[in-house]
Amino acid sequence: MTKKLNFPIPELLAPAGSLEKLKTAVLYGASAVYLGGQRYGLRAAADNFNREQMIMAVQFAHAHGAKVHVVLNAFLHDSDFVGLSEYAKDLRLIGVDSVIVSDLGVIQTVIAAGGPEVHLSTQASCLNASAAKLWKAMGVTRVVLGREASLEDAKAIKLASGLEVEMFVHGSMCMAFSGHCVISNYTQGRDSNRGGCAHSCRHEYRIGLSDSEQEKNSFFMSSKDLEGLRQLKGYVDAGVDSLKIEGRMKSVHYAGTVTRVYAEALAHYAEHGNFLSDRLEEWASELRKVHHRAYTEASLIKPADESSIHNGRDSEGVESAVAGPIVALTKDAMVIEVRKKFRLGEELELVPFRGKSQTFTANRLRTLSDNPLEETKPGSLVKIDLIPGAAEHVLVRSTGI
Ligand code: SF4
C-alpha cells in the first residue's frame, strides 16, 4: 500500500497470529506482517505457522505488496540451536523478508547461514545509538527499539546509526524491560523468554495494604495499552521506518480493526501532509471497539510512570464484537463464519477494507442449503443477502456484546 502513496511513509507492520489474521491485516492495509514459525518465537501458544502455511503467507503477502517478517526472538539455550542454520536457510528459500532476533548467537548463526535480513527484536532492549551502531556492525539492518524509547530517542538513534528503526505504535505493553521478566517462570513454571509468558503481571496481587488501599493497587504491575494514534506525526518526523502493532495472540477483529485505523490515518497523511483530520475521533472510537485495557502513550513523549498502570481487570470499553468474517460470496449472498451469535432482524455493521462502515439489518438469514434461520450459532456458516462492500475477509460486526 505504501508504494501507491505520494511520498514515503512508515511501514505499517501488523501481527499475523494465523493465516486468516495475516490475510485480514493485509487486506485492511498492512504493508508488512510478522508471524512465528513452529520454533524460536516468543508466542508458544499462538497458531504458529508450519512450512506450508508460511509459504502460503509469503505468497499472499507478496502478491498484495506486503512484506513478511518472521520472529525468531526467543533467548536460546545451546540445545535449541540444533537445526537453526537449516531453518534460517529455508526461510530465505521461502522468500521471508526478514527475521526478528534478540539473541547474539542466533544473529550470528542466521547471518552465517545466509538467512534473511536480520532485524533486532525489541527483546534486545536497544535504547541508544552506541548499541545500535554495534548491532549494525554485526549485520543487523533494523532495530525494533525497546518499548522504553521515546520518539526523540528514535530520531537520535536513526540519525547516528543509519539503521532502519521500528517502534511499537499500538497494543499491549510489557511491565518488564521489554520482556526481561521471569514472573511467569516463578508463578506458572513457564519461561517468558522462550515463548511462555502467562501474563502474570496482569493478575491481581495482594500486597498487605489496608482494604481500601489494596482495592486501589491490586493490579499494580499491569500496564495500560499503547495507543500512538495522536503521535503519528511524531513518528513520521522522527523518521521511524516501521510502525508495529502488537498482538499476534489477539483476534481477527483486532487485526482488521486496528490495522484499518492506522492504515487510514497514514493514507490521510500521505494525501494531505498532516494528521489534523476530523476523522481522528472516529479512528479513536474504532480503537475502543477492540479488546483493550485503558490506553496510554507510554514512553513516546515522557517516560512511563504510575499513570501508565491499568489498575483493573483485563479489558475495558469493548463496544462491539465481530459477528464473523465473510468467508465466501455467492451470487446473492455473503457467507459468514459465525464467531458471535446473532439473530434474525439484528442490526449488524459491515466494515469494508476502505471507507465508511455501513449498518444493515440481518433480515434474511439462511443456512448454506437456503433453509431459513432465526438465530445463528458460533462456528456455523450462514448466508445473509449480499450488500455493497462485501468481500472475502471483510468483517461483519455486531453492535451488541
Ligand atoms: S508477565 Fe507481563 S511483564 Fe512479564 S513478560 Fe509477560 S507481559 Fe511482560
pLDDT of residue 213: 77
Q: What pLDDT sits at residue 307?
A: 87
State whether the beta carbon of 203 lies less than 6 angstroms from ligand 1: no
Half-sphere exposure of 304 (CA within 13 A, CB side): 23
| Torsion angles phi and psi, residue 67, rounded to 5 | -90, 160
Query: Which residue CA neighbors atom 8 of ligand 1 most closely?
Result: 174
- Smallest CA-to-CA distance from 240 within 123, 126, 142 is with 142
Residue scoring higher pLDDT (287 or 310): 287
Backbone angles phi, psi at 395, to 5 degrees: -90, 140
What is the length of the chain? 401
Burial 173-188 (b: 16+ CB within 10 A, else e): bbbbebbebebbbeee
The residue among 295, 192, 172, 186 whose CA lies nearest residue 244 is: 172
The pLDDT of residue 1 is above 50:
no
What pLDDT, on the 0 to 100 scale, is given for residue 191?
85
Q: Distance from the CA of 148 to the center of ligand 1, in angstroms?
A: 14
pLDDT at res. 58: 98
CA atoms of 46 and 43, how far apart (whole Å): 5
195 lines ligand 1 (CB under 6 A): no
Ligand 1 atom index nearest CA of 184? 1
Give residue limits of the domains in the chain: 2-308, 321-398
Is the CB–ligand 1 distance for residue 174 below 6 Å?
A: yes
Q: What is the pLDDT of residues 132-152, one digit of tens each?
A: 999 999 999 999 999 999 999
Distance CA 315, CA 291 (A): 6
**Which of 13-22, 191-200, 207-216, 291-300 is least confident?**
207-216
Residue 314: pLDDT above 80?
A: no
Domain 321-398 sits in CATH at 2.40.30.10
Percent of the chain with pLDDT over 90: 70
pLDDT, average across residues 216-235: 91
Instruction: Confirm or reject: Cβ of 100 under 6 Å from ligand 1.
Output: no
Q: Cell numbers 507492520 label which residue?
A: 13
Split at pLDDT 50, 70, 90, the class of 204 is confident
Measured distance CA(236)–CA(161) in Å, rounded: 17
Task: Report how far ligand 1's centroid is from the alpha carbon of 174 (Å).
Answer: 5
- Name the 3-class secondary structure at 139: coil
Indicate the pLDDT class of residue 170, thresholds 50, 70 and 90: very high
Q: What is the mean pLDDT of residues 198-210?
A: 84
Question: Residue for cell digits 496481587?
Answer: 205
Query: Does 168 have pLDDT greater than 90?
Result: yes
So what's the pLDDT on residue 5? 47
What's the gap in Å between 42 CA and the centre of ligand 1?
A: 11
Selected residue with higher pLDDT from 310 and 29? 29
Instruction: Tell me the mean pLDDT in the region 237-266.
Output: 95
pTM, entire model: 0.93
User: What value does the mean pLDDT of the chain take?
Assistant: 91
pLDDT of 115 > 50? The answer is: yes
The reported pLDDT for the residue numbered 321 is 79
Verify whether ligand 1 is closer than 6 Å to residue 42 (CB atom): no
Least confident of 24-33, 40-49, 182-191, 278-287: 40-49
Query: Which of 177, 201, 225 to probe ligand 1 with, by most ligand atoms within 8 A of CB?
Result: 201
Most confident range, picked from 11-20, 199-208, 290-299, 312-321: 11-20
- Residue 46 confidence (pLDDT): 60
Cα distances from 3 to residues 10, 303, 372, in angstroms, run 11, 34, 45
What was the pLDDT predicted at 318?
Answer: 61
Q: Give the homologous superfamily in CATH for domain 2-308.
A: Copper homeostasis (CutC) domain (3.20.20.380)
pLDDT per position as a tens digit, 246-257: 999 999 999 999
**Is the pLDDT confidence value at 206 over 90?**
no
Average pLDDT over residues 54-66: 98
- Ordered alpha helix ranges (H), 119-275: 129-137, 151-161, 183-188, 211-217, 232-237, 252-272
Query: What pLDDT is attached to residue 211?
Result: 79
Region for 340 from its dihedrals, namely left if φ exceeds 0, alpha if ψ lies in -120 to 50, beta otherwise: beta
What 3-state class would DSSP assign to 386? coil
